[in-house]
Structure 1
Amino acid sequence: MAIIINLDSILTAQNLKGKELAEAIGITEANLSILRSGKAKAVRFSTLNAICKTLKCQPGDILKYTVD
């Protein structure tokens, strides 16, 4: 897929664990893991909004599009 998820690098830079982010945004660790691995088929805007609000970042910091 041409969409790259940069969530792990943002979590590392902010010294946060996935479990902490999942709790803060109100999703399960399993669902966050699916998103982090790039296996998610969709992301709700409400989830993306919560991630950006919690991590104080922009959607473009998390999601990148690359041409295959």
Structure 2
Amino acid sequence: MAIVVNLDVMLAKRKMSLSELSSKVDITLANLSILKTGKAKAIRFSTLEAICEALDCQPGDILEYVPNKNNVKEE
């Protein structure tokens, strides 16, 4: 997948556990775990906003675009 979720990096920078984030943003631990491991297929903007507010960060701190090598055209 070309979108990488860096939630674990931001949690480490903020010295916050996944369960603490779960209680702050009122999202189940299971759903946050799916997001953290990169298995999520989508995220609501309201969820992203709540996570950014709790972690005091920007969406770009959590989500990163990394081009797939298979999709890159060579000239």
The whole-number CA distance in structure 2 between the counterparts of 1:35 and 1:26 is 14
Paired positions, count: 68
> Paired residue for 2:28?
28
Unaligned runs of 5+ in 2: 69-75
Letter aligned with residue 53 of structure 1: E
TM-score with structure 1 setting the length: 0.97
Unaligned runs of 5+ in 1: none
SS at match of 2:12: helix
2:38 is aligned with 1:38: yes
The whole-number CA distance in structure 1 between the counterparts of 2:29 and 2:50 is 15
Query: Percent same amino acid among aligned pairs?
Result: 57
> Paired residue for 1:56?
56
Alignment map for 1:5-16 (pairs within 5 Å): 5-16=5-16
SS at match of 2:9: helix
Structure index of larger Rg = 2
Q: Which runs of 4+ in 1 moved over 4 A?
A: none
TM-score with structure 2 setting the length: 0.88
